[in-house]
Structure 1
Amino acid sequence: GNIISFGLFMSPVPTFVSIWKAKSVQDFKPDPYIATLLNCAVWSFYGMPYVSEDNILVLTINAFGLCLELFYILMFLIYSTREQRKKIMLVVLGEIIFVALLVTLLMTLVHTPKKRKLIVGPICIVFNIIMYASPLTVMRLVIQTKSVKYMPFLLSFTNFANGIAWTVYAILKWDPFVVVINY
């Protein structure tokens, strides 16, 4: 699961090389990277021993993904217009506030890992669905231009392979929250 997830997180590299060379985000949208940032943040929290015991693989790959998504978003901030930067920063700020509140409330009000897992698990499922759906925000552009340039195949393929790998992992370990989202 972690190897394919690593590939998933690295799959946008050609997109960002293109952005860097053009010194512009062109028509690429930040939505998938912003959604993945939040997804990785909540799954990193889920993987912590005080939420989900013995889930180090979930923690490590999502912590890596969190760092990489921050880098991708930084690239968007550098090469976006002022208006685009403001929108991106507002959404990311909202995500930071949400995660900080989630962690603070659960760590102070919910006192056992089992109960925390029952709360964080469904939240992770919701944000995982949002992450997987976020590339679809570019579908209108794909239809208008009749080109998949802005919807990279590698990202779509690694999303599919990632779901299969994590389903197998979750079945073997029997983690219903990981199974549900990847099935």
Structure 2
Amino acid sequence: MSKVHHWVKRWLTLGALEIVERQPRAGRAITRYRTVADEFVVPEELLPASLLERQLTDLNREFLRGVFRAVPELEHRGSLRIHRQPGQRHVSVDRCPGRGAARSMLTHQSSMTLLLSQDEAKELVDDLLDLRDRWLERAGGEGRRPSIDGLAEHLVMLGTTPAAPRN
């Protein structure tokens, strides 16, 4: 709690937060804050060098916890499907509880290694960015909407990177 208090005070001093309401009660009053803008940009030179790696590690951990929470049988049971698409140069690995079941679930995780030229890799990145943009727009432009009956947040991770050389 002291870390949160430290950062709230710091952001308040810097003008990034403003006090919206103070609610008196026995003991310390409850203070409600609001950001003064919808977006802040922290210059690259002020970011710690390991920030992106820590953020991606945390997101991957959260994603995997979500997969196992949504479909606990994937952690201990289920088939490991290793397959190559006819006429394709890649191998895919999918974990699913049974043949055909993966498309009916609300969660999916798969990984693959593709042999791609630089042009193909660029095309894949463009496709992933288009997919991201299409779903962000569909979700209201920011990826999050106010709580609405029947809607639940889903963590979506899209990415591609050159594979590290294998020893």
> Which gives a bigger RCO, structure 1 or 2 (Cα 8 Å, sep 6+)?
1
TM-score by length of 1: 0.26
Return the structure number with greater helix share. Answer: 1
Q: Which has the larger radius of gyration?
A: 2
Return the structure number with greater strand share. Answer: 2
